Chain A
């Protein structure tokens, strides 16, 4: 099965700094999604990027997708303590047209005040 693998596993930064997380996957996809999970809560969808897109922005978030390298990155600019959470990439399972996604193990981000 396709599985995104996030890197690094854990990241600790100071408030105001930028945080970059990477995701690598194994086979061709038609889209890739990023999610955030706060402690004790469910996953929250952040951004969806399609295979024909190279970059997408949402507020302080910037996601890139390089299909030739089978990798994606999530950049959080001007981080805040409230950004402390785990971040997951999700890639489609199977024929890419279904709704089934495989989630990576996640990156634990700690933003220190």
Chain B
């Protein structure tokens, strides 16, 4: 039973470059979340989608960040242009929004380093 799949697992790039992170949620799940984790700020929600529609993007730090969910099985988080302070681990999670509390299922993250 495949879990949430993220790619790449590691990304090292120079500042100013465009970075695209990818996520495949668990089949059948209708909610998808993008988080950023750093030592200083912990786990922060960037944006989440219900049924492919962005519901809350108030956590997106700047216009340099954008996220899309073109279909139920794929989402991207893009940073353009990237900056060293964007270095963090980015997680994608999915859940089944049913009106009842549900757990979130996390991928293993993308460790992003901006030089």
Q: Do A and B bind each other?
A: yes
Query: What total of chain B residues lie within 8 Å of the partner, measured CB to CB?
Result: 24
Question: Are A30 and B101 also in contact (CB < 8 A) when A88-B43, A100-B45, A106-B42 are?
Answer: yes
Interface of chain B, helix or strand or loop or mixed? strand
CB contact list, A33-49 vs B, under 8 A: 33, 40-45, 48
A residues within 8 A CB of B50? 99
In the bound complex, CA of A5 to CA of B56 (Å):
23
Which residues A78-113 have CB closer than 8 A to chain B? 88, 90, 92-93, 97-106
Cα(A45)–Cα(B45), bound, Å: 17
Is the CB–CB distance between B56 and A99 below 8 Å?
no
| 6 other A-B residue contacts (CB within 8 Å) besides A42-B4, A100-B56 | A42-B93, A90-B104, A93-B45, A97-B99, A99-B104, A100-B48
Q: A: which residues have CB within 8 A of B?
A: 30-31, 33, 40-45, 48, 50, 88, 90, 92-93, 97-106
